[in-house]
Structure 1
Amino acid sequence: MVRLLDALDALPDSVRLRARSYDLLHLTPGAPVVDVGCGTGLAVAELAGRGARATGVDLGERMVAEGLRREPGADLRVGDARELPFQDGELAGYRAEKLYHELDDPAGALGEARRVLAPDGRVVLVGQDWDTFVIDSDTPALTRTIVHARADLVPAPRAARAYRALLLDAGFDEVTVEVHTSVLTGPLMLPMLARTAVAARDAGAITEDDADRWIAEQAGRARTGRLFLAVPLFVAAARRP
């Protein structure tokens, strides 16, 4: 999983999207910022490279341990998005990428974001809407069933489309939302697509034959350069009054 995440993070679209998220934080040199759901700490390192005083928080102990192995001096901590290790108003920036769909209570996490941000502090959220994956296939109805069945297994699959409402409800203002679509055509995504079909099969949404047939088609597309996956990524930014 870490190798796959590393490969995805290195894609040009991913690099540009992270840079855009950093720009939206409006950070000044030395400003304290947290990256929540930091994984192995890539964004923490890049934010520090921009002069910020960056901390990463992630619930996964293995991810944090791997991040500290890569960057022993990084400030990476095991912690929960709903209970961050900061004082009220301590931070100038809060960033979370591909995290909120994993949370049972996205609104509670944003309430915690508001608590740790100082007035005029900035929040930036980045994430995909699991219902809107676009996959080319010879069986579009089956593909639609697979995508929606996989989405239903995610705690908050439509959190990204709700970013604006969530931010407003949490008391943030100057809310903006952008959409950046990543188009993925190489074999890198084949294992993820296969797991998507297997998850739909295990949930009872499709049969084993359906899953095998769909995976075989996608494998054939990968071999012939015809695999196509488009993922709209929503980027929301706001200010704490």
Structure 2
Amino acid sequence: MSKNREAQRENQEAPRAVEEPRRDTASLLALLDATDLRPDMAGLRARSYELLSPAPGSTVVDVGCGAGRAVAELAGRGVRAVGVDPDPGMLAAAGTRWPTAEFREAGALALPFADGSVDGYRADKVFHVLEEPGRAVAEARRVLAPGGRIVLAGQDWDAFVIEADDAALTRTLVRACAARLGSPRVARGYRNLLLDGGFDDVTVEVHHHLFTGNAALPLLARIADGARAGGAVGRGAADGWLAEQRRRAEADRCLLALPVFVAAAFAPV
């Protein structure tokens, strides 16, 4: 076999080195800021902390911590909370906002913790960007101590409900935006993902977020831009659809709803 063919085969057989796509940090940070303080978002974060049930002094890792709000809130509950994120820009923003909190640069597939060294694992709005979420679950099990708690939360990117004149175009936009993600429907599969990963006492809850008026526009713009960037629709169709949504928002007739799944389980003892 030639060296070129050997190299090609090695490249095909080697595991993918990139676990998460590059993100537009500035626009994502703006979107997080626009939503994090909503009562429903704050309530869902609080519910994830309840499911973690961390004891004072225990160690909890928040994977894909973004701007770090959950890390700061967990630390305020008396636990050692460590936020990890692969985006240096996000970590810089987190460090500025929460200077006493602990953050590390790392992705979900290679956490900077020894085997069995953490008591809680939390990942909110993270697994949908991963090509292989099962590998992230295996990594979570590696770092969790026996009896440690895992909580996964996230929206189903293929199940958005949007009020619009053209239902077919709206469905095309939602599906096209979802297709650009690594695992857009992973949230509906959290329960099976944890069961397949060997976790015990798996539970799952379904919540929802509802956006009306101008509050819906950032997410609607992301859907339209994602579909256009993926080539599913032309600029004219995407811009026209978004213009309709802006008119709806001005008249307080805009509505977007999405299901959010929250799963929790124990690492086997």
TM-score, length-normalised on structure 1?
0.97
Letter of the aligned partner of 2:96 in structure 1?
R
Aligned residue number for residue 104 of structure 2? 77
Instruction: Deviation per CA, 1:146-182: give whole Å up to 9, x if none.
Output: 1011111111101111111110111101000101111
- Is 2:260 the partner of 1:236? no
* Structure 2 residue 159 is matched with structure 1 residue 132: yes
Instruction: Please tell me whether the aligned partners of residues 75 and 101 of structure 2 are also in contact (alpha carbons under 8 angstroms).
Output: no
Q: Report what 1:163 is aligned to.
A: 190
SS across alignment from 2:158: helix
Q: Which amino acid aligns with 1:173?
A: D
* Percent identical residues: 57
Measured in 2, the distance between the counterparts of 1:208 and 1:70 equals 37
Q: In structure 2, what is the Cα distance between the partners aligned to 1:196 and 1:19?
A: 27
Residue 239 of structure 2 corresponds to 212
Give 1:113's aligned amino acid: A
Partner residue of 1:115 out of 122, 127, 142 = 142
* Partner deviation per Cα, 1:93-112 (whole Å, 9 max, x = no partner): 00000000011110001100
Displacement of 1:185: 0.4
Verify: 1:19 aligned to 2:51, yes or no.
Answer: no
CA distance in 2, matches of 1:199, 1:181: 22
Is 1:37 the counterpart of 2:58 in the alignment? no
**RMSD between aligned residues:** 1.1
8 Å CA contact 2:145–2:267 kept in 1: the answer is: yes
Deviation at 1:199, TM superposition (A): 2.3
CA distance in 2, matches of 1:195, 1:7: 13
Q: How many residues align?
A: 241
Structure 2 residue 219 is the aligned partner of structure 1 residue 192? yes
Task: Deviation per CA, 1:114-155: give whole Å up to 9, x if none.
Answer: 000011100000001111011001111111111011111111
Cα distance in 1 between the residues matched to 2:91 and 2:234: 38
Question: What are structure 2's unaligned runs of at least 5 residues?
Answer: 1-26
User: 1:3 Cα shift?
Assistant: 2.8
Which residue of 1 is the match for residue 178 of structure 2?
A: 151
Say if 2:65 and 2:71, in contact at 8 Å, map to a contact too. yes
Is residue 2:230 matched to residue 1:203?
yes
Alignment of 1:97 with 2:117, yes or no, is: no
Match of 1:67 in 2: 94
Q: Distance in 2 between matches of 1:158 and 1:127?
A: 10
Q: Which runs of 4+ in 1 moved over 6 A?
A: none
- Give SS of 1:131's match: coil
Q: Distance in 2 between matches of 1:7 and 1:116?
A: 32
Cα drift, residue 4 of structure 1: 2.5
3-state SS of paired residue (2:222): helix
